[in-house]
Amino acid sequence: MIVLKDIAELFTLSKASHKKARNIKLEDLSVIKNAAMVIEKEKIVWVGESKKLPPHYKKSKSVSLKKKTVLPAFVECHTHTLFGGTRAEEFELRNQGASYQQIAEKGGGIRSTVNQTRDISDKALETLGKKRLLEFQRQGVTTVEIKSGYGLDLKSETRLLKMASRLNKSFRVVSTYLGPHAVPEKHSNVDFYLNEILLEHLPKLANSKLTKRADIFVDKGYFSIEGARRYAQIIKSFGWDLVVHADQMHRTGATQLAVELGAISADHVIQINDDDIEALAKSETTAVLLPTSDLYLKMNYPPARKLIEAGARVALATDFNPGTSPTQDISFVGVLARLQMKMSLAEVLVAYTLGAAYALGLQNELGSLEVGKVADFIVLDSNWQELFYQVGHTPVQSVWSRGKSVVENKL
Ligand code: NIG
Ligand code: FE
């Protein structure tokens, strides 16, 4: 048992949690001033004003948080963290006028990362994975979703999922299978590859118990709506969560399909219309917004304001990958959300905590600081308004996960 005391402001997000992270207003952050929080066995057992701390806790070990601000730790719900190599040269080509699609057609893009990921040893890739997780953690992120998808064949995809589960031992990692990310070089045809996934890869992966989530990239030149339907049917028969990279480059109708199939999240959702927004708003599917990848691709941003005002639940994430979003900087994501998508700071904060926890199905454990939830939180070195303000800087002094301090930043 540990009592955390001398908290100047404790952002519990309890009202946001009652509203299932929808239509967030400033008061939904549910801030308690002069607060204390009690943790037992990794979980929060009491939160409230210090002066109301029940007497029986007063004899327990206590830690002073020195009049700082405490918020829920961030949840990074969409990344492609396990990859080898870089695509820096493609970034230059794109800036000189080549399109993402043109580069992909010439064997670059996702396929280039697939080759570079196969060429790197297990040890080197795992070391990179750890380094990248620490980079997220330093910024206050204690949960990171990692997709496979840079393997494509069963052996290489399994290798990535196994690595993600090894990384989960020292960090909270949620893995997602993304075999249908691109068509591998040796297959000339998307249907042939999808059939192989459905008939051979998925049954073996289900037996391996390496993951419980599966994603698919639905877009022109990638996977079709019909393909996604067939994929979803099998995923659902396993009881796994379905995720869809939806309406990113072109409007294919994937967002509405994701809603219809009860996907846990629809990610990107850039090329969406009012009907798609309405469908998301009425559903339990979280819209995951990835503004750094939109900036790198020089695309439009998703209609965040319309989504929020219609009542959809939104999450924010980096989409960290070497092609469309070579950044792990969550401050960059938040600043773009505020500047380009006109999200309020309260909306950004909830999207990066509770909204993202929903996208991972972890809303009962993470994303707010309430009794019964896991004690994952950050202690700020500044006022909360300095969050998502200065790109490249997160004013996080310390990061706690499962009730233990895991990072002390020198600021
Ligand atoms: O989320 N859209 C598909 N997948 C990634 C891009 C991956 C890559 O280019 O390597 C994305 O943007
Ligand atoms: Fe992605």
- Specify the pLDDT at position 186: 82
- Specify the pLDDT at position 185: 84
* Same-domain pairing of 191 and 221: yes
DSSP code for 29: G
Structure tokens at 404: 């233990």
* Same-domain pairing of 191 and 332: yes
Ligand 2 centroid to Cα of residue 72, in Å, is 24
Q: What is the CATH number of the domain that holds 181?
A: 3.20.20.140
Nearest-CA residue for atom 6 of ligand 1: 324
Ligand 1 centroid to Cα of residue 324, in Å, is 6
- pLDDT over 70, % of the chain: 100
* Cβ proximity of 227 and 257 under 8 Å: no
Compute the average pLDDT of residues 94-106.
Answer: 93
Atom of ligand 1 nearest to the CA of 78: 1
* Same-domain pairing of 63 and 203: no
* Same-domain pairing of 385 and 354: no
pLDDT, tens digit, 9 for 90 and up, residues 289-330:
999 999 999 999 999 999 999 999 999 999 999 999 999 999
* Same-domain pairing of 107 and 215: yes
User: Which residues make Cβ contacts (< 8 Å) with residue 90, sequence separation at least 6?
Assistant: 98, 103, 108, 109, 112, 323
Task: Name all contacts of 11-15 with Cβ < 8 Å and 24+ positions apart.
Answer: 11/69, 11/70, 11/71, 11/72, 11/349, 11/369, 11/384, 12/47, 12/368, 12/369, 12/370, 13/72, 13/349, 13/350, 13/353, 13/354, 13/367, 13/368, 13/369, 13/370, 14/368, 14/369, 14/370
* Same-domain pairing of 122 and 253: yes
Element spanning 88, H or E: helix 88-95
* Same-domain pairing of 180 and 265: yes
Confidence of residue 277 (pLDDT cuts 50, 70, 90): very high
> Which ligand ends up closest to the CA of 222?
1
CA distance 405 to 288: 29
pLDDT, tens digit, 9 for 90 and up, residues 228-244:
999 999 999 999 999 99
Ligand 2 centroid to Cα of residue 46, in Å, is 37
Nearest-CA residue for atom 12 of ligand 1: 324
Helices 110-118, 154-167: axis angle to 10 degrees equals: 70
* Cβ proximity of 221 and 101 under 8 Å: yes
Q: Which of 219, 321, 325, 327 gets mutated to test ligand 1 (max ligand atoms within 8 A of its CB)?
A: 321
CA 285 to chain centre: 14
Compute the average pLDDT of residues 147-171.
Answer: 97
Atom of ligand 1 nearest to the CA of 245: 2
- What is the maximal distance between C-alpha atoms in the chain? 70
CA 300 to chain centre: 20
CA distance 346 to 27: 9
> Which ligand ends up closest to the CA of 246?
1
Provide the number of structural domains found in the chain: 2
pLDDT, tens digit, 9 for 90 and up, residues 17-38:
999 999 999 999 999 999 999 9
Rg (CA), the chain: 21
Ligand 1 centroid to Cα of residue 29, in Å, is 32
* Same-domain pairing of 285 and 321: yes
Instruction: Provide the domain limits for residue 96.
Output: 75-359
Compute the average pLDDT of residues 347-374.
Answer: 98
SS3 state at 302: coil
Amino acid (1-letter code) at residue 263: A
* Same-domain pairing of 236 and 335: yes
- Specify the pLDDT at position 336: 98
Q: What is the CATH number of the domain that holds 58?
A: 2.30.40.10
Instruction: Quote the pTM value.
Output: 0.98
Ligand 1 centroid to Cα of residue 395, in Å, is 29
DSSP code for 27: G
Domain final position from 318, 339, 359: 359
Q: How are strands ordered across the β-sheet holding 172-176?
A: 74-76, 141-147, 172-176
pLDDT, tens digit, 9 for 90 and up, residues 213-230:
999 999 999 999 999 999
Residue 246 phi/psi, 5-degree rounding, is -120, 135
Question: Tokens 């496979």 sit at which residue?
Answer: 148
Structure tokens at 142: 């204690």
Domain final position from 359, 385, 400: 359
* Cβ proximity of 154 and 162 under 8 Å: no
* Same-domain pairing of 278 and 309: yes
- Specify the pLDDT at position 58: 87
- Specify the pLDDT at position 107: 85
CA distance 20 to 313: 8
Ligand 2 centroid to Cα of residue 111, in Å, is 14
- Specify the pLDDT at position 188: 74
CA distance 193 to 18: 43
Atom of ligand 1 nearest to the CA of 113: 10
Q: Which of 81, 114, 117, 217 gets mutated to test ligand 1 (max ligand atoms within 8 A of its CB)?
A: 217
Nearest-CA residue for atom 11 of ligand 1: 324
Nearest-CA residue for atom 3 of ligand 1: 217
* Same-domain pairing of 93 and 119: yes
Atom of ligand 1 nearest to the CA of 219: 2
* Same-domain pairing of 124 and 49: no
Give the C-alpha distances (Å, rounded to integers) separating 291 from 198, 316, 330.
Answer: 32, 8, 11
Ligand 1 centroid to Cα of residue 373, in Å, is 32
